[in-house]
Structure 1
Amino acid sequence: MNPTDDHDDKTITDTTPQTPAVGPAGELATVHHLPGRPEGGPAIEGEIVSEEEWRLYTDQQAQRAWRYAEYRRQGALVVKATRTAVTHDKTVATAKFAGRHAAYVFGGAGIVAKRVWEAKTNSRYERLIRAAEARGDAEELKHWEERAELAKEKRHRRAMDWLDAPVQIAKTLLLSVLVAIVVLFGIGCLLALSFSDVAMIGAPFGAVIDVVRWVTIAISVAWGPFLLAAPWIGLAALHHIGRRAETTPGWLARADGGGMDASTLLTADGIIAALRHLGIPAMNKAIKEGWTPRFELNPTREGTAPFKGYRAIVDLPMGVAPTMVADRREVLAKNLNRNPVEVWASDYGREKGGKAGYLNLYVADSGVMDKPTPPYPLLHEGSTDVFAGVPIGITQRGDVVSIPIAGSNAVFGGQPGQGKSNAVRVMVLGVALDPLAEIRVHVFAMNGDFDAYEPRLSRYEKGATTEHVESALDHLESLYAEVGRREGRLAELGAKKLTRAIAQQHEDMRPLLVAFSECHELFGHGEFGKQAAELAVNIVKRGRKTGVSTVYDTQSSRADAIPSQLVENVGANGCFAVKTWRSNDGFLGDGSFAAGIRATELRFNVDRGTMVATGMTDELFEIVRTFFVEVDDDRGWDAAADVIARAMAQLKPGTPVAGARPAQALETARDLLEDVADVLGDDEKAKATDVVARLRQLAPSYRPYQGLNADKLASQLGELGVKVTKVGVLTVFTERVRKALADRDADA
């Protein structure tokens, strides 16, 4: 109730005697009778009010105080409601949306203005000259000064050309009109002759006039809408330029960043600030002396949703090497609001076309490493070409990585359970989808990683036994011989290397991939490991052009588990999570850790299936998340089985598959005395080295003879009673061998 209603300007007259109302408990209240109705009559309704309320009816000052209090109360409500509306999430998001897109337009306009200004003046060169002076780079300073002078000269020539332009334009127009008239007149004459009508001479001129008229009409119709649309088209273009350059300030960023939160945004200023707080003394000193970083590449957005990030290339001051920044990667990641695994700093000078002293920095968006890897792209359809590579995974930018097969070899390493075997499975599965390729697999463990692949494998052996190691060594020897045969075959064909066209025409030249899984059991074998390592290295060195490729995976980087020469000579290396720099360099090659190529930054189990890879792209290295071919051990199900079935259906006739290349039966025992007597024949004597060579030819599949040399032969013959005398060189005498045989037979 508003006490001022109907009473502000009235004089209240009360003619009724004011008699206190008395009840059983005594006096209850003083009754003030409201003014009576002018026409008289009984009161219809009444209300008991307090003294204070009555004063509000009768006292003007009290009424004013009440009104002001009510104004304050209602004003507070309005302020509260306004504050609530203004600070509401939707209001803030809407305001940021409007401000952000307005900032894009202004930012785009600034970029265009800067481009125009730099194109019309020497400001760009002056900026680069100042940067070169600040760095003390005399050679680059001279280069930009020369470029600046050249630009001035070109602008001067263009300005002078404009002085002659009107005359040249007039001459050109006049000549064009005369030529057009002559051409049209010629066409008219031809028409007149064809139709025997002199009037046809003017037909081409009439046609041109009609065209001009219709063009004029079209322009007049379109001109109005174009003028209306032109400003909006210009604004849209500026908006696009500003948005691509991300000119909006960070406080206007969306909460979800449009796929980007505040911690995802990365600017040149942010990188400079992060570098300043790395705690590198030489950099701190340079900054205090006024050093300003120069960006060869400003922070540029890379990748495809949802795998995006920024790449920047920035120079470093004197006394600071890129490896020093890489050593502080954990601090750098903290300064950039990232996990260490999302920040990769490397030496740009080691890359193709790179510059020494520059840092190549890639910063992935926050949380990229936690997003799931897409399904294997060839799981349900498709085929491959090993000469173009097969898909193995994606980069942090979401780009599919194809690992080279033909003309390359590969090594995968890392701690147990981090994805080495899966990487080989994915690689072999891709090769299986090439109708021409032959595949052989050795698994030096009793696991079923490749059981589902068996129908497609021309040779498949598994187990960590000495017999398997010996069989694999025999296989390596035959592979080395196959490389030699293929080299001769290519020479016959007049080709320098195997191509797909040659492989399609000649069945004996099909691309071949041989996988050695858990190869530390092979190379670490006490008796056959060294020989196997030498053969593997030689096959990698010579087999590249012949279409013979190999792949190895192991959990140990020791020299007796994976030969260092093998690691250095393969084309593609992949290292999953490891603990030490020695293991890192053992799988990726010496000097990798120092260059910032570090799998030690991968988190054990957290980054399972992620490897630091070299040789798979043009980059110095990549962080590759391998595709996963699903396996259910409880049900004995392997998703690769369906892919293998599809691969079998599309094979080219004659491609070797299961059973085509059975392991050769190895001889387990031979009589050395009888074999020596046999190879000596009618010779009176022979050099021990010649006897060894003859023994290998006599029994090429007998392993003890393949590892034999002159000293070992002399020792073994000595144990059998045959003395090998050194006559310049160790020499085996036939008479002594036959006597030893006769004595043995007599004793028997």
Structure 2
Amino acid sequence: MTDTTARPTDTPPGTGVPAVPEQPGTRTPPVPATPLIAKDKPRRRVRIDHLRRVVVETRANPTYRFTIRHSAYLVGGTRILTRRAWDARTTARHERFMRAAEAAGQEDVARDWEQRAYIYRQSRHRRRMELLQFAINAPKAIAMGTVGGAGILLMLGIMLAWANRDAHDVLVPLQAVIGLVGWVAFLAGVIWDPLLTALPFLALAGAWAVGRHRQAAPAWALHGDPEQRDVVPDEGAILRALGNLGIAPLNKAIKDGWQPRWVQPTTRSGNGWHTQLQLPLGVPVEMIIGKKGVLAHNLLRKPVEVWPTEPPKLPGTLDLWVADQGSLSGPVPPWPLLTEGTTDYFKGVPVAVSQRGEPIIGKLMAANYMVGGIMGSGKSSLVIALLLGAILDPLVIVEAYVMAYNTDYDPLRPRLRKLVKGDDDEDIEAALRALRNLRDEVTLRGKLLEELGEGATKVTRELALKDPRMRPKVVVFDECHELFMHKEYGKEAAELAIKVMKKARKTAITLIWVTVSPTADSLPRDVTRNTSHRVAFAVGDHVANDGLLGSGRHKAGVTATTLIPGEDVGTAVTVGFSSKPFEVVRSHYVARDPDKGVDEVTPVVERAMGLYEGGAAVEEPTFQPADPLADVAAVLGDEARVLAQEVLHRLAARNPDAYGTWGPTDLKRALEPFGAEQYKSNGVMVVARDRVQDAVLERLAEDVDDFDDE
């Protein structure tokens, strides 16, 4: 008889719960599985961690990495050679380029590749027919060749026998040929077996070499530290950086075999590298911009050294500029006018250098400035460089209204017509009166231009020399938020500022607004809209950034929020200084530190006072900013087309300081905004005189139209 009584120690396997005896006529409910799963989760996690640790340790093993690396070279090289052979024998390459052109919306390029594919198929068909015809005609040709060759040899033998008067010599040529064939057959027999044996190994070695050259192995299996990254942002480094941004659509595209289309391969550009890459479907440039910090980390750069943007004329394309490591930490070149030279208000003055090391010219005529940033970020360095350059033109009148108590402008006091400092109501009122006077002055100058006739559309240096009422004027309003936010004067100040800025461009009046509080309340929106040159040093958030540089700039990747106060002093993001959407610049610093006995400002002011009081060098300023378009037109002369490399040589000879380090990319970057860049003709890159001259004339017409539109 079976004992059905459950013992107290009986427990279900895998649990610590005693079994409950089953009563007659009842059914024991099943034990819930949840506690088992919950209990197994830590074990599963331990197993996963153990497997991960095993994988990491295995990958770190040199022998394992060596085996995987060279095996991957072999497999990858075979795949590459197979694809090359397939592309060479089919129209796969043409189809691939057609799909890329269609995806980019380039219908003319797609049609061109379709035509090439048609021509290739026709040529391939013709070759195959020729081979088929050759196979049919080959036996007849071989027979005729054999008979003909034997006849020639026999004729040679007869001639040899006639000369030697020996009938045996008739067959000597034929025997010699037969002996040669025998030797060739012998050598082939000796070489054939080793060659046949070595052929597979040679093929494997070739595939391995191709795979090694293309680094067709997992990153962790390559030489050195598997986490090691190259500081040069070439195409491979950029793709690896993009693939590790954590963007799901981009990761999916890479996993699905996305083949990037490089609009512009990575090329050297000044103190950095520039590239343009068409992104896959579902990955807008804004996604990359949102991961700018991670992208910079992946490229071994600081965020301020990496600038991903979207070109205005190439939507869907990532325009990436990566600075050299530490390019923002080195010393800025000395201000070019520190010890000598005079300037021309109508041609601009040097104020900074770009990240690429190019000089940045601050335009004064038909320009105005908005400069902002956190205290200590370097605003004054750019403004002082701008004013020092302005006063080295004896024609220029400078006024400064500083609605705070600081000594930044004190060294310039001898050359300033007026300097007002302070944040009291009378100081704010003085700035307001200055705006009222400027309103009246732009009206007066406009009437004077009208009296001079149709030929005078704007103030020129010649007019300023003839009429003192037309002398150029630069007016600075520092801490301008105090003026615009004043309860009593703020509204009128904003209205006056907008009126003056709209009319001042052709009257040789330049306004410079400086603030530490670039917000919608402190800066009237229309004032920012009518500002041609905008400068953002380190700012606290995107509101301040867009308040200075314009609405939507932060989202588009043009942002100064990544600049670090106290570290990136003098570095700013600018708009309006060039034809590019933005420029990252480092302002020249003209030092003045009485505590250390350093004063570079006062000698410049004294030199400016000497020019102002003596009137020397008024008509022929020594500082002439480089004008690439005009300089290219000059070096082309009367030649219709000149090799691009020859143009670079001539530019370097004309102005070594400006063009001595230029390359083809710099020339293209300078001429492309005007539609006059170099192009390929007969297999070489050339610059056309007609294109450059048309660009010069178009620029002149645009300048006139800009003034006429006001």
Which TM-score applies when normalising by structure 1? 0.54
Alignment correspondent of 2:263: 296
On the 8 A contact 1:343/1:363 being kept in 2, the answer is yes
Please give the secondary structure, in 1, of the residue aligned with 2:446.
helix
Letter in 1 for 2:264: L
1:611 positional shift: 0.6
Deviations 1:368-422 (A, max 9, x none): 1111111111111112222222111111111111121110100111111111122
Distance 1:129 1:475, change over 3 A: farther
Q: In structure 1, what is the equivalent of residue 409 of structure 2?
A: 450
Counterpart CA distance in 2 for 1:519 and 1:414 is: 13
> What is the correspondence of 1:192-271 to structure 2 with a 5 Å cutoff?
263-271=230-238
Task: Please tell me whether residue 133 in structure 1 is matched to residue 99 in structure 2.
Answer: yes
Secondary structure at the counterpart of residue 562 of structure 1:
coil
Render the CA deviation track for 1:403-455: whole Å, top value 9, x for unaligned: 21110100111111111122211111111112221111111112111111111
- Structure 1 match to 2:343: 384
Alpha-carbon separation, structure 1, partners of 2:113 and 2:449: 51
Contact 1:520 1:554 in 2 (8 A): yes
**Which amino acid in structure 2 is aligned with residue 601 of structure 1?**
T
Distance in 2 separating the partners of 1:122 and 1:564: 60
Alignment-mate amino acid for residue 512 of structure 2: V
TM-superposed deviation, 1:361: 0.5
Helix, strand or coil: the match of 1:601? coil
Q: Distance in 2 between matches of 1:126 and 1:428?
A: 62
Opposite residue 284 of structure 1, the aligned amino acid is N
* Pair 490,150 (structure 1): closer, same or farther in 2 beyond 3 Å: farther
Shift of residue 609, structure 1, vs aligned partner: 0.9
Give the distance between the partners of 1:128 and 1:506, measured in 2 at CA.
68
Letter in structure 2 aligned against 1:283:
L
**Conserved? CA contact 1:414–1:577, under 8 Å:** yes
The aligned residue for residue 178 of structure 1 is: none
Partner in structure 2 of residue 543 of structure 1: 504
Once the two structures are superposed, what CA deviation does each residue of 1:64-109 show, in whole Å capped at 9, x if it has no partner? xxxxxxxxxxxxxxxxxxxxxxxxxxxxxxxxxxxxxxxxxxxxxx
Match of 2:466 among 496, 505, 510: 505
Q: Does 1:274 align with 2:237?
A: no
Offset of 1:598 from its aligned partner? 0.8
Shift of 1:144: 3.7
User: Is structure 2 residue 267 aligned with structure 1 residue 329?
Assistant: no
1:287: which partner in 2? 254
Please point out which of 502, 508, 513 is paired with 1:552: 513
Q: In the superposition, relative to structure 1, how do residues 635 and 310 fare at CA in structure 2: closer, same or farther (>3 Å)?
A: closer
3-state SS of paired residue (1:620)? coil
- Aligned-partner Cα distance in 2 for 1:289–1:418: 46
One-letter amino acid of the counterpart of residue 456, structure 1:
R
The equivalent residue for 2:424 is: 465
2:402 counterpart of 1:436: no
Mapping 1:35-434, distance limit 5 Å? 130-134=96-100, 136-137=102-103, 139-146=105-112, 149=115, 263-303=230-270, 308-349=271-312, 354-434=313-393
- Residue 194 of structure 1 aligns with which residue? none
**Letter of the structure 1 residue corresponding to residue 509 of structure 2:** V
How far residue 638 of structure 1 moved from its aligned partner, in angstroms, is 3.3
Helix, strand or coil at the partner of 2:351: strand
User: Structure 1 residues 402 and 595, CA, compared in 2 at 3 Å: closer, same or farther?
Assistant: same
CA 148–650 in structure 1, closer or farther in 2 if over 3 Å, else same? farther
Label 1:501 to 1:128 Cα distance change in 2 as closer, same or farther (>3 A).
farther
* In 1, Cα distance between equivalents of 2:230 and 2:403: 46
Q: What amino acid does structure 2 have at the position aligned with 1:403? A: G
SS in 2 for 1:373: coil
User: Do the aligned partners of residues 542 and 636 (structure 1) sit closer, same or farther apart at CA in structure 2, a change above 3 Å counting?
Assistant: farther
TM superposition shift of 1:129? 6.0
Once residues 498 and 126 of structure 1 are traced to their aligned partners in structure 2, the CA distance between those partners, rounded to angstroms, is 62
1:546 to 1:276, Cα distance in 2 relative to 1, 3 A: same
Q: Distance in 2 between matches of 1:372 and 1:558?
A: 32
| Cα 1:486/1:371, change in 2 over 3 Å | same
Q: CA deviation at 1:470?
A: 0.7
Gaps of 5+ in 2: 1-83, 123-212, 216-227, 617-710
Gaps of 5+ in 1: 1-116, 157-246, 250-260, 656-748
Distance in 1 separating the partners of 2:235 and 2:284: 19
> Structure 2: which amino acid aligns with 1:523?
F
In our comparison, the structure showing a higher alpha carbon Rg is: 1
How much does 1:141 deviate? 4.7
User: C-alpha root-mean-square deviation of aligned residues, in Å?
Assistant: 3.2
Distance 1:292 1:147, change over 3 A: closer
C-alpha displacement at 1:550, in angstroms? 0.2
User: Which SS does the other structure have where 1:582 is aligned?
Assistant: helix
Q: Give the superposition deviation at 1:266.
A: 2.1
CA displacement at 1:545 relative to structure 2: 1.4
Q: Which amino acid aligns with 2:474?
A: L
Quickly say closer, same or farther: Cα 1:484–1:406, change in 2 above 3 A.
Answer: same
- Are residues 645 and 461 of structure 1, via their aligned partners in 2, closer, same or farther at CA, if it must alter by over 3 Å? same
Contact residue 416 and residue 555 of structure 1 kept, 8 A: yes
SS of 2:286 mapped into structure 1:
helix
1: distance between equivalents of 2:308 and 2:257? 24
Q: Is the 8 A contact 1:507 1:654 kept in 2?
A: no
Cα deviation digits, residues 11-62 of structure 1 (max 9, x gap)? xxxxxxxxxxxxxxxxxxxxxxxxxxxxxxxxxxxxxxxxxxxxxxxxxxxx
CA distance in 1, matches of 2:334, 2:272: 21
**Is the contact made by 1:412 and 1:420 (CA closer than 8 Å) also made in structure 2?**
yes
SS of 1:587's partner is: helix
Instruction: Say if 2:241 and 2:295, in contact at 8 Å, map to a contact too.
Output: yes
Deviation at 1:128, TM superposition (A): 7.6
Structure 2 vs 1, CA of residues 471 and 138 (structure 1 numbering), >3 Å: closer, same or farther?
Answer: closer
In structure 2, how many angstroms separate the alpha carbons of the residues matched to 1:523 and 1:415? 18
CA distance in 2, matches of 1:147, 1:404: 46
CA distance in 1, matches of 2:88, 2:429: 73
1:605 is aligned, of 557, 561, 566, to 566
Deviation, 1:502, is 2.4
Structure 2: distance between partners of 1:291 and 1:431: 54
Distance in 2 between the 1:578 and 1:417 partners? 11
- 1:138 and 1:364 mapped to 2: Cα distance? 28
In the alignment, the residues of structure 1 paired with residue 255 and residue 284 of structure 2 have an alpha-carbon distance, to the nearest angstrom, of 18
**Match of residue 482 from structure 1:** 441
Which one-letter code corresponds to 1:645 in the other structure?
Answer: E
What is the DSSP-based 3-state SS (H/G/I as helix, E as strand, rest coil) of the residue aligned with 2:328?
A: helix
Match 1:639 to one of 600, 605, 611 = 600
Letter in 1 for 2:444: R
Q: Secondary structure at the match of 1:650?
A: helix
Pairing partner for 2:495 from 519, 534, 547: 534
Describe the shift of the 1:472–1:278 C-alpha distance in structure 2 as closer, same or farther (beyond 3 A): same
Contact 2:101 2:109 in 1 (8 A): no
Q: Compute the displacement of 1:523 (Å).
A: 1.4
Q: Per the alignment, do residues 622 and 482 of structure 1 end up closer, same or farther by CA in structure 2, a change over 3 Å counting?
A: same
> Structure 1 pair 263/648, CA: closer, same or farther in 2 (3 Å)?
farther
Deviation for aligned residue 1:500: 2.4
Letter in 1 for 2:292: R
Q: CA deviation at 1:467?
A: 0.5
1:122–1:151 contact (8 Å) kept in structure 2? no
Matched-pair identity in %: 40
Distance in 2 (CA, whole Å) between partners of 1:534 and 1:578 is 26
